[in-house]
Structure 1
Amino acid sequence: MSAVVPVHDEAPWKAGLRSARANLIPGLVLQAFALAVVLGYYFHAPTRTGLTRLAELRNDTGVLFGIFTTGLCGGLLPLLYLKAAPSTRRHITWPQGWGLTAFWSYKGWEIALWYGFMAWTLGEAADVRTIAAKSLLDQFVYCPIWAIPTTALVYLWCQNGFNHHLLIADLRTPRWYARRVLPLLLANLGVWLPLVCIIYALPTPLQLPLQNIVLCFFTLMLAHMAREPSLIPAE
């Protein structure tokens, strides 16, 4: 594990915009890929057939599908990638990696519930109004209130060796949301706001599989951002 370093004085919104700019091209590639998947589903018969089988697998396996695939895409695969690269091998320990894999496995269950809740409350139509409503609730209610803060907490907890005393101390430090959540939230919007609009255009059983395809990229971005600040504020 890398040594603890002081918190930078960079404004939170600048840190978030810096990360969003750094990931602009990869983000656009992922968004284009996701859009191609959706267009293939609606306009390319072989793609639709393959995705329909994936949706059937998703329905047959239930909650286990989300737990396994999200843990794999959000935790295990990024862990193996970081450990395989000499430049990042020391940035994450195996216990940290397993902790994040467990976290993303849980998130698979949570996200599946969220997509189901959106379908139950707003319907499963793929019209502009329904997609826009789901996307706005996703990015401006679910993410800032719950998804991003809990993700920031878990990543910072893992970063500092699962030391809950450091985590509590950081939570008690003023402007925690601005320091820890706002940069991630801004970076999240740059990648995920266009993506969720694309994801919600698919039938509900295919929404989680598609979001997991792009999750590997997003978790790598989170890992990069979480390494920079410390849970110990500068004195």
Structure 2
Amino acid sequence: MLLPLIKDAFRHNLKPALALQSLAIVLVLSYYFVPSTQPAFNFFADLKSTYGIRYAIISTAIFGGLLPFIYLLWTGQIKRQPVGQLIFYVVLWAWQGACVDVLYTYQGIWFGHATDIATLATKVAVDQFIFSAFYAAPFLTLMMLWKEQGFNAVKWKASLNRSLFMLKLPANIASNWLVWIPAVTAIYSMPAPLQVPLFNLVLCFYVLLLAVLNRDENQ
């Protein structure tokens, strides 16, 4: 039962994954090889350096929460509790922004800021096989399930069944690796002040693309 779910998750995420990874690679290459892009990169790097975790909280709330919510609302994909869903998306991604910023900060402290293969591989492994597998993916899965249950704690608790933990959650984690392992490799290839800004752009693009694909499938 698990393997078909993983295959379906991979199929569903393949196109957005390739698009997301292409975007991340283009941004990294632009930073290192296109001098005319430096003012834009420096602008975001300065913001991140100046405001630190506050920047991560606000920017991730906007790029991961507010902008996708506006698109979902505009395209009619949010049909109930719009105010509640707005608060949910913004608060959820503000929290995730703080968590990601802490992760990136400590990865730099623990492993340094070099971009050699060994350092990148170590950071990606910690990010995806510890942080993502044991916290981010399960947490987001549970939070999205709570939203799907209309923010009803009783219904949400009733949905926490064996199938969720033995099938859906592992499939989500596996498909998450397809999407994010190449993406975070690109993110960790950037200087520390640009890692959260790049994460924000990639996240926003990914969430919006998923929303577009889901809309097309439902039409």
Report matched runs for 1:1-235 at 5 Å.
Answer: 11-86=1-76, 88-90=77-79, 93-171=82-160, 173-219=161-207, 221=210
Q: Distance in 1 between matches of 2:212 and 2:8?
A: 15
Deviations 1:124-183, CA, capped at 9 Å, x for gaps: 001111011101111111111111111111111111121222222333x22432233122
2:72·2:211 contact (CA, 8 Å) conserved in 1?
no
> Which is worse superposed, 204-213 or 214-223?
214-223
SS in 2 for 1:23: helix
| Structure 1 residue 96: Cα displacement | 2.0
Which residue identity is paired with 1:196? V
Please give the TM-score of this superposition, normalised by the length of structure 2. 0.88
Cα deviations across residues 40-90 of structure 1 (Å, max 9, x unaligned)?
A: 21122222342123111111122221111111111111111111114x242
2:16 touches 2:206 (CA, 8 Å); kept in 1? Answer: no
The 10-residue stretch of structure 1 (52-61 or 113-122) with the greater mean CA deviation from structure 2:
52-61
Cα root mean square deviation, aligned: 2.2
Structure 1 pair 115–202 and aligned structure 2 pair: CA distance change class (3 A): same
Structure number with the higher helix fraction is 2
Query: Gapped runs of 5+ residues in structure 2?
Result: 215-219
TM normalised by structure 1 equals 0.82
Letter in 2 for 1:129: A
Is the Cα–Cα contact under 8 Å of residues 82 and 92 in structure 1 kept in the other structure?
no
Letter in 1 for 2:165: Y
Tell me, yes or no, if the aligned pair for 1:100 and 1:155 is still in contact at 8 Å. Answer: no
Residue identity over aligned pairs, in percent, reads 32
Report the residue type matching 1:59 in the other structure.
S
Question: Could you say what secondary structure the match of 2:79 adopts?
Answer: helix
